[in-house]
Amino acid sequence: MPISPSHTRIAVVGASSTRVGAAIALAVTVAACATSRPSAPAPFAQATLRSTTGAEVGTATFRQVDGAIRVDVDVRGVADGAHGLHIHTVGRCDPPAFASAGGHLNPDGHKHGTKNPAGPHAGDLPNVIINGGRSSGYTAMTLRVTNDAGPAGLFDADGAAIVLHADADDDMTDPAGNAGARIACGVIQKL
């Protein structure tokens, strides 16, 4: 996956702990090595994002990086601008509405949004910015989901999906940040 360093965005999301410091340090390392990512561990899961008509519009890969989960997303063929992105609670993407994916992964009963005092959901991720028809180097680090079958796990009995929305997530409004329709969905599949 070729990444342009000048377009790489790094976001670290997660609860306060010493692991945050580790994640930030890792994010800096990732940014510095974004062109080739020589030390990136192999992904443990991936998702193919498909539009409401079934067209492939992108991929998401999931890596375990020192206790955090790194999510890399590459999207093209959707409108320029900011688009909400979340991990939803059910690994099922039935078009065209993708309602089958359920709500945001939220094992702790929080409200939506990283700017919400009662938030966020475990599945809340930073917006994807589409510019010139595609994203460029979207990378997020999260400490809120886990590579297992636990309460915040991507691989519980009904799995999980990653969903892209029509509009920007305001990171505040419950339950889904006013991010509008679900325009693409991918089941997160263990590799």
Binding site for Cu ion (CB under 5 A): 86, 163
Q: Which is nearer to Zn ion, 70 or 121 (CB)?
A: 121
As measured in angstroms, the least distance from the Cβ of 121 to Zn ion is 3
CB of 56 to Cu ion, least distance (A): 19
- Residue of closest CB approach to Cu ion: 86
Q: Which does 50 bind (CB under 5 to 8 A by kind): Zn ion, Cu ion, none?
A: none
Both tokens assigned to 90: 């059910």
**Is the preceding omega at residue 175 within 30 degrees of 0, hence cis?**
yes
Query: E-strand spans in the chain?
Result: 9-13, 45-51, 56-65, 68-75, 81-88, 124-130, 138-142, 161-165, 182-187, 189-190
- HSE at residue 32, side-chain half, CA atoms within 13 A, is 7
- Interface positions, 114-143, toward Zn ion (CB under 5 A): 121, 124
Which three-class secondary structure state does DSSP give residue 126?
Answer: strand
Nearer to Zn ion, 74 or 171 (CB): 171
Q: Is 182 in the site for Zn ion (CB under 5 A)?
A: no
Indicate which single residue of 70, 83, 104, 165 sits in contact with Zn ion (rule: CB under 5 A): 104
